[in-house]
Structure 1
Amino acid sequence: AGAEFGVPADLLASIAYAETRWEMVDGHQEFEGMAAASGVMALRDARLADGARLAGVSQEAAKSDVQANVRAAAAWLSREADNLGIDRSDLGAWAPVAAAYSGIELQAAQSAYVHGAVYRALNEGVTVRDADGSVRGTIAPRTVAADFEPEESAASLQKSTDYGPAIWRPSPNNSARPSGTTPSMVIAHTCEGSYAGCWGWLANSQSGVSAHYVVNETGSEITQLVRENRKAWHIGASYNSSLNGGTQSDKNGQSSNNFTIGIEHAGYASQSSFNTGMIQASAELSCELSEDYNLPRDQYHFVGHGQLQPYNRTDPGANWPWTDYLNRINTACGSSAPSGEIIIDSNNNLNDTNKGYISVSSNWSSSSHSTDYQTGYWWAQTAAVSDGASFWFYMPTAGTKTIDAWWVAGTNRAPSAPFIMYNASGSTVGSKNVNMQANGGKWNTLGTYSFTAGWNRVMLSRWTTGGYVVIADGVRVR
Structure 2
Amino acid sequence: MKHVIWTALALACATVSTTAVAGDAHGTTADEARALAETGATGDFARSLQAQEKRLQAERSYYPAMFRAAYARYPRIPAGALEALAYSQSRWHQLRPDRNGEPTHGDMPRAWGVMGLYAGDGFADQVGEAAALLGTTPEQVKHSPSTNILAAAVLLDRELRGSARDDEALAQALQRYAGFGESPGATVGAVDAYARESFAFDVLLGMDRGVNDNGIRVPERAVQWERAFPADTLARLNAPLVRLDLDRDTVETEAFAIDPRSEQLVTRQAAGNAVAGNGIADAGSVQSLATVDFPGARWVTSPNYSSRGGTAVREVAIHTMQGSYAGSISWFQKASAGVSAHYLIRSSDGQVTQMVRESQKAWHVRSHNPHSIGIEHEGYISNPDWYTTAMYNASAAITRQSCARYAGIVCTRAMKTYTSADLSDSSYDILGHQNLTDNSHTDPGKYWNWSKYYGLINPGSGGTTKIVDSFESSVGHFVTSPAYSGSTTGISTASTAARNCSIRHGGSCSLQVRLVDNTSSSASWAVRLLSGSGNPGSNTALSRNGRVGFWVFVAGSGMSVAVGIDDSDGTERSTSKAVPANKWTYVEWKLSDAAQWNAWAGNSNGAITASTVKLDAIWFLHANTSYTVNAYVDDVQLRN
TM over 0.5: yes
Residue 136 of structure 1 aligns to a residue whose secondary structure is strand
Match of 2:515 in 1: 382
Using the TM superposition, give the Cα deviation of residue 418 of structure 1 relative to its aligned residue in structure 2, in angstroms: 11
Distance 1:367 1:467, change over 3 A: closer
The one-letter code sitting in structure 2 at the alignment partner of 1:15 is: L
2:300 to 148, 153, 169: 169
The one-letter code sitting in structure 1 at the alignment partner of 2:314 is: S
Using the TM superposition, give the Cα deviation of residue 232 of structure 1 relative to its aligned residue in structure 2, in angstroms: 0.5
Using the TM superposition, give the Cα deviation of residue 55 of structure 1 relative to its aligned residue in structure 2, in angstroms: 2.8
Distance 1:430 1:402, change over 3 A: farther
Question: Per-residue displacement from partner, 1:142-196 (whole Å, max 9, x unpaired)?
Answer: 43734899738544323334222222222111011243x1121111112222222
Using the TM superposition, give the Cα deviation of residue 75 of structure 1 relative to its aligned residue in structure 2, in angstroms: 2.5
1:378 and 1:472 in contact (8 A); partners too: yes
CA distance in structure 2 between the aligned counterparts of 1:217 and 1:425, rounded to whole angstroms: 33
Question: Per-residue displacement from partner, 1:113-160 (whole Å, max 9, x unpaired)?
Answer: 5544425754762311223xx662214224373489973854432333
CA distance in structure 2 between the aligned counterparts of 1:361 and 1:323, rounded to whole angstroms: 36
Residue 32 of structure 1 aligns to a residue whose secondary structure is helix
2:589 and 2:596 in contact (8 A); partners too: no
Residue 199 of structure 1 aligns to a residue whose secondary structure is helix
Match of 2:131 in 1: 52
1:306 and 1:314 in contact (8 A); partners too: yes
Residue 317 of structure 1 aligns to a residue whose secondary structure is coil
Using the TM superposition, give the Cα deviation of residue 420 of structure 1 relative to its aligned residue in structure 2, in angstroms: 7.2
**Quick check: 1:230 aligned with 2:300?**
no
1:190 and 1:264 in contact (8 A); partners too: yes
2:378 to 266, 289, 297: 266
CA distance in structure 2 between the aligned counterparts of 1:192 and 1:261, rounded to whole angstroms: 19
Distance 1:379 1:113, change over 3 A: farther
CA distance in structure 1 between the aligned counterparts of 2:392 and 2:196, rounded to whole angstroms: 24
**Quick check: 1:187 aligned with 2:317?**
yes
CA distance in structure 1 between the aligned counterparts of 2:378 and 2:164, rounded to whole angstroms: 32
The one-letter code sitting in structure 2 at the alignment partner of 1:326 is: Y
Aligned pairs for 1:311-322 (under 5 A) are 312-322=440-450
**Quick check: 1:77 aligned with 2:156?**
yes
Distance 1:386 1:54, change over 3 A: closer
1:51 and 1:72 in contact (8 A); partners too: yes
CA distance in structure 1 between the aligned counterparts of 2:312 and 2:619, rounded to whole angstroms: 49
The one-letter code sitting in structure 1 at the alignment partner of 2:178 is: S
Match of 1:280 in 2: 393
Question: Per-residue displacement from partner, 1:44-72 (whole Å, max 9, x unpaired)?
Answer: 21112332343344444433443221111
For structure 2, list consecutive stretches of 5 or more residues without a partner in the other structure. Answer: 1-69, 120-124, 182-187, 237-266, 268-273, 275-281, 283-287, 416-427, 471-476, 478-486, 501-509, 518-523, 531-541, 563-573, 598-617
Residue 117 of structure 2 aligns to a residue whose secondary structure is coil
Identity %: 26
2:162 to 87, 97, 100: 87
1:417 and 1:462 in contact (8 A); partners too: no
1:296 to 389, 410, 425: 410
1:108 and 1:152 in contact (8 A); partners too: no
2:299 and 2:354 in contact (8 A); partners too: yes
Match of 1:42 in 2: 116
Distance 1:282 1:415, change over 3 A: farther
1:219 and 1:280 in contact (8 A); partners too: no
Using the TM superposition, give the Cα deviation of residue 390 of structure 1 relative to its aligned residue in structure 2, in angstroms: 10
For structure 1, list consecutive stretches of 5 or more residues without a partner in the other structure. Answer: 237-254, 351-359, 372-376, 408-412, 435-444
Using the TM superposition, give the Cα deviation of residue 88 of structure 1 relative to its aligned residue in structure 2, in angstroms: 4.8
CA distance in structure 2 between the aligned counterparts of 1:116 and 1:16, rounded to whole angstroms: 15
Query: Which stretch shows the higher mean deviation, 425-434 or 292-301?
Result: 425-434
Residue 18 of structure 1 aligns to a residue whose secondary structure is helix
Distance 1:227 1:406, change over 3 A: farther
Aligned pairs for 1:137-156 (under 5 A) are 137-143=218-224, 145-146=227-228, 151=233, 154=236, 155=267, 156=274
Aligned pairs for 1:310-459 (under 5 A) are 312-331=440-459, 335-336=460-461, 338-339=462-463, 361-362=488-489, 380-382=513-515, 387=526, 405=550, 433-434=583-584, 446=586, 455=595
Give the TM-score taking structure 1 as reference length: 0.68
1:95 and 1:148 in contact (8 A); partners too: no
2:209 to 126, 130, 147: 126
2:141 to 41, 62, 65: 62
The one-letter code sitting in structure 2 at the alignment partner of 1:175 is: S
Distance 1:5 1:152, change over 3 A: closer
1:8 to 77, 81, 84: 77
CA distance in structure 2 between the aligned counterparts of 1:13 and 1:110, rounded to whole angstroms: 24
**Number of residues of Structure 1 aligned to a counterpart in Structure 2:** 412
The one-letter code sitting in structure 2 at the alignment partner of 1:322 is: W
Residue 106 of structure 2 aligns to a residue whose secondary structure is coil
Using the TM superposition, give the Cα deviation of residue 280 of structure 1 relative to its aligned residue in structure 2, in angstroms: 0.3
1:49 and 1:59 in contact (8 A); partners too: yes
CA distance in structure 1 between the aligned counterparts of 2:113 and 2:201, rounded to whole angstroms: 21
Match of 1:239 in 2: none
1:40 and 1:66 in contact (8 A); partners too: yes
CA distance in structure 2 between the aligned counterparts of 1:314 and 1:119, rounded to whole angstroms: 29
**Quick check: 1:98 aligned with 2:174?**
yes
Residue 110 of structure 2 aligns to a residue whose secondary structure is coil
Distance 1:369 1:183, change over 3 A: farther
Distance 1:142 1:460, change over 3 A: closer
CA distance in structure 1 between the aligned counterparts of 2:629 and 2:447, rounded to whole angstroms: 34
1:214 and 1:222 in contact (8 A); partners too: yes
Residue 330 of structure 2 aligns to a residue whose secondary structure is helix
CA distance in structure 2 between the aligned counterparts of 1:143 and 1:341, rounded to whole angstroms: 40
Question: Per-residue displacement from partner, 1:300-347 (whole Å, max 9, x unpaired)?
Answer: 22222233379742322321111111110112xxx42x248688889x
1:219 and 1:279 in contact (8 A); partners too: no
Using the TM superposition, give the Cα deviation of residue 288 of structure 1 relative to its aligned residue in structure 2, in angstroms: 0.5
Query: Which stretch shows the higher mean deviation, 452-461 or 227-236?
Result: 452-461
Residue 396 of structure 2 aligns to a residue whose secondary structure is helix
Using the TM superposition, give the Cα deviation of residue 231 of structure 1 relative to its aligned residue in structure 2, in angstroms: 1.0
Using the TM superposition, give the Cα deviation of residue 471 of structure 1 relative to its aligned residue in structure 2, in angstroms: 4.8
1:111 and 1:148 in contact (8 A); partners too: no
1:171 and 1:203 in contact (8 A); partners too: yes
Using the TM superposition, give the Cα deviation of residue 267 of structure 1 relative to its aligned residue in structure 2, in angstroms: 1.7
Using the TM superposition, give the Cα deviation of residue 221 of structure 1 relative to its aligned residue in structure 2, in angstroms: 2.1
1:212 to 335, 342, 345: 342
Residue 337 of structure 2 aligns to a residue whose secondary structure is coil
The one-letter code sitting in structure 2 at the alignment partner of 1:151 is: T
Residue 223 of structure 1 aligns to a residue whose secondary structure is strand
Distance 1:395 1:224, change over 3 A: closer
Query: Which stretch shows the higher mean deviation, 259-268 or 119-128?
Result: 119-128
2:551 and 2:587 in contact (8 A); partners too: no
Using the TM superposition, give the Cα deviation of residue 235 of structure 1 relative to its aligned residue in structure 2, in angstroms: 2.5
